[in-house]
Chain A
Amino acid sequence: GAVVSQHPSWVICKSGTSVKIECRSLDFQATTMFWYRQFPKQSLMLMATSNEGSKATYEQGVEKDKFLINHASLTLSTLTVTSAHPEDSSFYICSARDPREGRTDTQYFGPGTRLTVL
């Protein structure tokens, strides 16, 4: 299957700083990537859909000015958590759909980024 990477794997930052998380499709071009957030013992919550060359589509309740998404190329999407606060501490996971698989909706997940805001 397709491979998706994320960087960094984990990050610790001070409250008020910004953190950028990268999501890359390694062996395919992804026109659409998805960003999820997962709190401990909870399921994945879709934050936004990242579209190459256009603005991201945010889910209800997700602040687009706080969670900046850029999908500048077919293999890279970035999520920037601006002015991070302790309540933003979470596991952030990206996923991508491989368009070579036709109409299947199968998504391939990155390994996740654990963010801790002090």
Chain B
Amino acid sequence: GQNIDQPTEMTATEGAIVQINCTYQTSGFNGLFWYQQHAGEAPTFLSYNVLDGLEEKGRFSSFLSRSKGYSYLLLKELQMKDSASYLCALTTGGFKTIFGAGTRLFVKA
């Protein structure tokens, strides 16, 4: 089976940097995703890590350590619109994706 842990809520200030951690246990691993979800909307893709290391995409970066079962999403230059839930998700065999409970990020002025 799979188990994914991430903090329930975080608060950060506009313009700052925030790191959202995700730890996981899984019997099979194909890749790790981060999705952003605004209230009442479907998730949107942010990043995908298959190999260890840092993937950078604009203001968003994601890191993966497969040996430690650990990932983080780094958001720089926070904007008010970044207030959302951030979902850490694992893919196992058969392209099946299992989601963590999500971290609700509140960005304050």
Contacts and interface: CB of A to CB of B under 8 A. Distances in A.
Interface in B80-109: 87, 91, 94-102, 104
B30 interface: yes
Interface residues of A, number: 25
A108 B96 CA distance: 13
Contacts of A91: 40
A46 B96 contact: yes
A97 B96 CA distance: 10
Contact of B87 (A1, A41, A43): A43
Interface stretch (A11-19, A67-75, A76-84, A109-117): A109-117
Interface in B35-63: 40-45, 48
Given A1-B45, A44-B87, A106-B45, A49 B94 contact: yes
A105 interface: yes
Interface of A: 1, 32, 34, 36, 41-46, 49, 91, 93, 95, 97, 104-112, 114
19 contacts: A34-B96, A34-B97, A43-B87, A43-B100, A49-B94, A49-B96, A91-B40, A95-B97, A104-B31, A105-B30, A105-B48, A105-B91, A106-B45, A106-B48, A109-B44, A112-B40, A112-B41, A112-B42, A114-B40
